[in-house]
Structure 1
Amino acid sequence: MKNNEGKTIGQSEQDDPKTMWTIDMSKCTLCGECVDACKRGILKIKDKRVIITSQIDCNWCGDCASVCASDAIELT
């Protein structure tokens, strides 16, 4: 079975994300600055929402959160 990232559930723990991030859509203005700031190219705007295409490929550098003028992105 695959999750919404296309990852097969049951892969080894080493493939699990180190942390999670969330976007408060009530704060997000869809400006796209976070998409442009992501050096890995894993953020996209789809259906009027910012999405991450792969949590596993994220290195949690914080660039997306640091450019967010509305403080909508929170790394946990």
Structure 2
Amino acid sequence: MKNNEGKTIGQPEQDMPKTLWTIDYSKCTVCGECVDACKSRLLKIKDKRIIITSQINCDWCGDCADACASDAIVLT
């Protein structure tokens, strides 16, 4: 992001995730299928919720969303 002087502020672009994704916890059954489907091993179950450990390292393959039977994962 650039400020009004044209200087870059915030995180460098290379440190920004390629995409952002969210979990709709009202739909999520915490079955763990998305955890098993993630080849990068970025998903974990913690406190009875699915969490992503790093948005930056996600390659947006969509395997987690494809594995989710309740359509709780939304890639943007």
TM-score (norm 2): 0.84
The secondary structure found in structure 1 opposite 2:45 is strand
Identical aligned residues as a percent: 79
- Unaligned 5+ segments in structure 2 are 1-9
| 2:15 alignment counterpart | 15
Superposition misfits of 4+ residues, deviation over 4 angstroms: none
TM-score (norm 1): 0.84
What displacement does 1:69 show?
Answer: 0.3
- State the Cα deviation string for residues 5-25 of structure 1 (Å, max 9, x = none): xxxxx5422110111001000
Aligned length: 67
What displacement does 1:55 show?
Answer: 0.6
Letter in 1 for 2:53: T
- Unaligned 5+ segments in structure 1 are 1-9
Q: Which protein shows a greater Rg?
A: 2
